[in-house]
């Protein structure tokens, strides 16, 4: 089910894109030549992105652990000068 990614998004709100202010989403990238997949957080406007570790045995966003998605979301939400 796709509920895993949705659950993470509800738990952790993605900040808007730091470059264009666009809406950010969590998704997956595939490399069809190497068969690697990796989770990513990306901007739906300018497509800037941050990516997780490539994996050969996961091919859906649901296959990536909550921990990996949390790390990506945390990295996306980090802004210069903001203290945690
Ligand atoms: Zn953007």
Question: What's the CA-to-centroid distance between 27 and ligand 1, angstroms?
Answer: 15
Q: Which of 24, 29, 33, 39 is nearest to 77 (CA)?
A: 24
Q: Work out the average pLDDT over 2-7.
A: 56
Taking the centre of ligand 1 as the mean of its atom positions, its distance from the CA of residue 33, in whole angstroms, is 27
pLDDT category of residue 1 using cuts at 50, 70 and 90: very low
Mean pLDDT, rounded, for 60-74? 88
What would the pLDDT profile of 14-33 be if each residue is shown by its tens digit?
A: 999 999 999 999 998 888 88
Ligand 1 centroid, distance to 16 Cα (angstroms)? 8
pLDDT digits (tens, 9 = 90+) for 28-62: 888 888 889 999 999 999 999 999 988 888 878 88
Distance 28 CA to ligand 1 centre (A): 17
Ligand 1 center to residue 40 CA distance, Å? Answer: 14
pTM of the model: 0.78
Residue 13 CA: distances (Å) to CA of 10, 34, 36: 6, 32, 27
pLDDT, residue 49, reads: 96
Phi, psi of 73 (to 5 degrees): -65, -40
């Amino acid at each position: 089910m796709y509920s895993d990614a949705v659950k993470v998004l509800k738990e952790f709100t993605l900040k808007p894109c730091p470059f264009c202010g666009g809406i950010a989403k969590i998704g997956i990238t595939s490399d069809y030549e190497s068969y690697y997949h990796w989770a990513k957080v990306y901007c739906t406007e300018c497509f800037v992105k941050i990516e997780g570790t490539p994996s050969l045995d996961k091919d859906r966003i649901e296959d990536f652990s909550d921990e990996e998605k949390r790390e990506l979301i945390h990295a996306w939400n980090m802004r210069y000068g903001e203290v945690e």
